[in-house]
Amino acid sequence: MWRFAGKRALAALLVLFAISVLVFLIFFATPGVDPAARIAGRNASQETLAQVRQSFGLDQPIWTQYGVMMRHLFIDRDLTSFVNRGAEVIPQVQQAIPVTLSLVIGAAVIWVILALVMGVLATAYRGTAVDPIIVVLGVIGVSLPVYWLGEVVNLVTQSRLHDTIFAWVPSLGYVSLSEGFGPWALHLLFPWLTLAVLYAGIYARVLRSEMVGAMNEDYIRMARAKGIGEWRVLLRHALRTSLIVVVSLFGLDFGALIGGAALLTEVVFGLQGIGKLTYDSLQNFDLPVILACVLYAAFFVVLANFIVDLLYAWLDPRVRHV
């Protein structure tokens, strides 16, 4: 068991290393792309470009640059931003973490509950009108561009109906939990709902699909033959078996979101989370921050994969002894 975990950990580290190299290569080694020009801005003069190259160490060979940056990031832990000279990267990331966590965890609670209710109801009432209605709701949730939805929500809550129904909605931005649960939750309410719409749609459909499939299995017929009530059959037998796939998917999505995949939501609602940090750094070609953010995101994806594999074994006893 430990050897298995050890091998997976090693593979994960290799993947992270590969990603760090990949990011570096994308930004610094793509033919036709000059990072100095990006940083210096368009129409920079040759002297400016040379200055930029020198001060950012861009005239060094790529491997040296890579080594230097990685050393600053992991060993010296004093990596500084290209754009805000002197601003350290790691504290920036650390400040952004609670914002993203607040957004993702809150949204996750909402969408999980929504998806469970929708999926179970759609299965319980399959064959009636309830089922296709729920499916269509799910499809709509999946099809609304999340950033567009956020903007529309803003339009309604911040502008059009701000003086009437939505006067209580605070202006955009993040308020720390230390300033009180109320303000924190209020500021996050609509970002939570916007993000939850998308994921509730995905998960309601997956759950329904799994559960409807499970209801056709022999063990459901056996459960009924035991004299068990239909709701218990649905929840204890069909739902429990369907959770195997759903929880695995959830783990992967949740990991990606914590790593900053809620980028668009953060941008639209003005939340300074990891996603927004990543986006800003990408716009500015601020490579140290980019590197830190991408590695942070990839770390969580890899970690999530690992945890999901373990979870899968816990949820599905058939897999345990492999």
Partner 1 sequence: MSESTAAQPLLDVRDLRVSFRTRSGTVDAVDGISFTVGRGEVLGIVGESGSGKSVSMLSVLGLIDNPNCVVEGEVIFQGEDLLKLDDKELRRIRGKEIAMVFQDPMTALTPVYTAGWHISEQIRAHEKVSKKAAHARAVQLLDAVGIPNATDRVNSYPHEFSGGMRQRVVIAMALSCNPSLLIADEPTTALDVTIQAQILELLRDLQSEFGSSIVLITHDMGVVSQMSDRVLVMYGGRLAEAGPRRALMRDPLHPYTWGLMGSIPPTDGTRVERLAAIPGAPINPSDPDRDRCLFSSRCGFASDACRPQPGLVEHVHGHLDACVLPYDQRPALRLEALTTVTTESGASA
Partner 2 sequence: MSASTTSTSTTPATPSAGPWLNAWRHVRRDRAAMAAVVVLILIILMCLAAPLYENYVAHTDAFTSNVNGTYVVDGQTKPVLEASTEGLGLGVNPIGPTWSSQLFLGADNQGRDVMARMLFGGRNSLVIGFTSAIICCVLAGIVGIVAGYFGKAVDAVLSRALDVLWAFPVYLLAICLSVVLINSSITIGPVTLNSGSIILPILIIGIVYVPYVARPIRGQVLSLREREFVQSAVGAGAADLRLLRREILPNVLPTIIVFLPLMTAINMLTESALSFLSIGVQPPDASWGTIINDGVGLLYTRPMVAIAPGIMLAITAVALNLLGDGVRDALDPKARLRGGV
Applying CB under 8 A, the residues found at the interface with partner 1 are 127, 215, 217-230, 236-237, 240-241, 244, 315-318
Residue 193: which residues within 8 A CB-CB, separation 6 or more?
A: 107, 110, 153
> Binding-site residue total for partner 2 (CB under 8 A)?
61
- Among partner 2, partner 1, none, what binds residue 273 when CB lies within 5 to 8 Å by partner kind? none
**Is 287 among the residues that bind partner 2 (CB under 8 A)?**
no
133 binds partner 2 (CB under 8 A): no
Residue 259 burial by CB count (10 A; 0-12/13-18/19+): exposed, middle or buried? buried
| Among the listed residues 178, 158, 155, the one whose alpha carbon sits nearest the alpha carbon of residue 99 | 178
Contact with partner 2 (CB under 8 A) among 87, 142, 175, 313: 142
> Least distance to partner 1 from the beta carbon of 241, Å?
6
Q: For partner 1, give the closer residue by CB, 179 or 217.
A: 217
Quote the CA–CA distance of 302 and 168 in Å, as a whole number: 40
Q: Which phi and psi (to 5°) does residue 80 adopt? A: -115, 155
Contact letters for partner 2, residues 197-216 (x by CB under 8 A): -x--xxx-xx--xx--x---
> What is the footprint of partner 2 within residues 221-280 (CB under 8 A)?
245, 249, 256, 259-261, 263-264, 267, 278-279
Q: 65: Cβ–Cβ under 8 A, 6 or more apart, which residues?
A: 24, 28, 57, 58
Q: Which residues pair with 88 in a beta bridge?
A: 80
How far apart (Å, rounded) are the C-alpha atoms in residues 92 and 94? 5
**Short-list 73, 85, 97, CA closest to 17:** 73
Question: How far is it between the farthest Cα atoms of the chain?
Answer: 84
The reply to whether 27 sits near partner 2 by the rule CB under 8 A is yes
Give the one entry of partner 2, partner 1, none that residue 263 binds, where binding means its C-beta sits below a cut-off of 5 to 8 angstroms depending on kind.
partner 2
Min dist. Cβ of residue 239 to partner 2 (A): 15
Can you tell me the distance from the alpha carbon of 249 to that of 263, in angstroms, rounded to the nearest whole number?
19
Residue 219 near which of partner 1, partner 2, none (CB within 5-8 Å, type-dependent): partner 1
Residues 294-313 that bind partner 2 (CB under 8 A): 294, 297-298, 301-302, 305
Three-state DSSP class for residue 90: helix
The pair of three-digit structure tokens given for residue 64, joined into one six-digit string? 């040296």
Answer with the entry of partner 1, partner 2, none that 49 interacts with (C-beta below 5 to 8 A by kind). Answer: none
Q: How far is the CB of 71 from partner 1 (least distance, A)?
A: 48
> Residues 274, 109, 138, 303: is their CA dihedral positive or negative?
positive
DSSP letter, residue 259: I
- Rounded CA-CA distance 89/291 in Å is 10
- Give the separation between CA 54 and CA 139, rounded to whole angstroms: 52
Return the number of the residue (72 or 237) whose C-beta is nearest partner 1.
237
C-alpha span between 49 and 55 (Å, rounded): 10
Nearer Cβ to partner 2, position 90 or 244? 244
Closest to partner 2 by CB, 45 vs 143, is: 143
Outline where 73-180 has alpha helix (H): 89-124, 130-143, 146-154
Pick what 148 binds: partner 2, partner 1, none; C-beta below 5 to 8 Å, kind-dependent: partner 2
CB of residue 112 to partner 1, shortest distance in Å: 20
Tell me: does residue 56 bind partner 2 (CB under 8 A): no
For partner 2, the binding residues (CB under 8 A) are 15-16, 18-19, 22-23, 26-27, 30-33, 132, 135-136, 139-140, 142-145, 147-149, 151-152, 154-155, 158-160, 198, 201-203, 205-206, 209-210, 213, 245, 249, 256, 259-261, 263-264, 267, 278-279, 282-283, 285, 290, 294, 297-298, 301-302, 305
